[in-house]
């Protein structure tokens, strides 16, 4: 059974360019999370979708960041324009939201380097 | 704001030894405390989790000890193995609040053969 799939695994771009990160959650999961991981700030939640609807985007750092979830099997995180300080590992996670304690399953991450 | 403090930042243990990682939290509304294990190039994976109605949970060589009054919890890895070398994150959240998971800064564990 495939886990959370992210692409690309590595992305190197130049400052000012647009970057699009992609995520395919686990089939049947109805919650999706985008996290950013850096040495300085650790793991931070950027945005949370439930049933394809953005519920909490308070972690999105700036207007340069946007996320979409057009259907239950696909989400994108876009940075436009990118800046060197955006360099980080970006994780997508999904869970099957029920009334209990829902485990989040993380993808392998996209390592973004902005030069 | 960081609501979960984790220590140590790094830990070196000999094979067969006990690894201990500590976390402290601030928000008394938290009621779910998972630990995640992350290998290089991989995403974090749930290792073990505890709720505050018990003081200890054991799964194989991994044990969580929980002290509700002190707002502290710790991960103990018994008989540590080189394959346990990874970064470990504690986390805390209110069980119903999927988007409110707060992570510790992580502990890089190295188990020497």
CA–CA distance, A83 with A20 (Å, rounded to integer) = 14
In this predicted structure, the answer to whether residue B58 has a pLDDT above a threshold of 60 is: yes
pLDDT, residue A100, reads 65
pLDDT of residue B13: 98
- From chain B residues 40-99, the ones with a CB under 8 A of any chain A CB are 41-46, 49, 51, 89, 95-96, 98-99
DSSP state of B98: T
pLDDT confidence of A99, banded at 50, 70, 90? low
Section B60-68 average pLDDT: 95
How far, in Å, CA of B11 to CA of B13, rounded? Answer: 6
Distance between A18 CA and the closest CA of chain B, angstroms: 24
Q: For residue B19, name the pLDDT band (cuts at 50, 70, 90).
A: very high
Q: Residue A40 has what pLDDT?
A: 86
Among A9-13, B16-20, B50-54, B55-59, the minimum mean pLDDT is found in B50-54
Among the partner residues B34, B42, B98, nearest to A48 by beta-carbon distance: B98
**Pairs of CB atoms within 8 A across A/B:** 52
To test the contact with chain B by mutation, choose from A9, A35, A37, A43 the residue with the greatest count of B C-beta atoms within 10 A, namely A43
Q: How far is B43 from chain A (nearest CA, A)?
A: 4
Ranges A91-95, B88-92, B94-98: which has the least confidence: B94-98
Q: What would the DSSP string read from start to end of B10-36? A: EEEEETTS-EEEEEEE--TT--BEEEE
Measure the CA–CA gap between A66 and B26, rounded to whole angstroms. Answer: 31
- Residues A112/A89, Cβ–Cβ less than 8 Å: yes
**Burial of residue A100 (number of CB atoms within 10 Å: 0-12, 13-18, 19+):** exposed
- Compute the nearest-CA separation of B53 from chain A (Å): 14
CA nearest to B100, candidates A104, A71, A38, A107: A104
């Amino acid at each position: 059974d495939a886990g959370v799939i992210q692409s690309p695994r590595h992305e190197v771009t130049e400052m000012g360019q647009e970057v699009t990160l992609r995520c395919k959650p686990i089939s049947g999961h109805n919650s999706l999370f985008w996290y950013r991981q850096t040495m300085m700030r650790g793991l931070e939640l950027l945005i949370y979708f439930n049933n394809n609807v953005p519920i909490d985007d308070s972690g999105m750092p700036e207007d340069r960041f946007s996320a979409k979830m057009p259907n239950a099997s696909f989400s994108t995180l876009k940075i436009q324009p990118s800046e060197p300080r955006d360099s980080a590992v970006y994780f997508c996670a999904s869970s099957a939201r029920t009334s209990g304690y829902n485990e989040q399953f993380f993808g392998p991450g996209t390592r973004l380097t902005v030069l | 704001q960081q609501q979960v403090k984790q220590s140590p930042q790094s830990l070196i243990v000999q094979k067969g030894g006990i690894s201990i990682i500590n976390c402290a939290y601030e928000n008394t509304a938290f009621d779910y405390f998972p630990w995640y294990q992350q290998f290089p190039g991989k995403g974090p994976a749930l290792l073990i989790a505890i709720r505050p109605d018990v003081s200890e949970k054991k799964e194989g060589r991994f044990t969580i000890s929980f002290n509700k009054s002190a707002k502290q919890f710790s991960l103990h890895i018994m008989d540590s193995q080189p394959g346990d070398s990874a970064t470990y994150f504690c986390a805390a959240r209110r069980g119903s609040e999927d988007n409110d998971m707060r992570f510790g800064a992580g502990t890089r564990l190295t188990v020497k053969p």
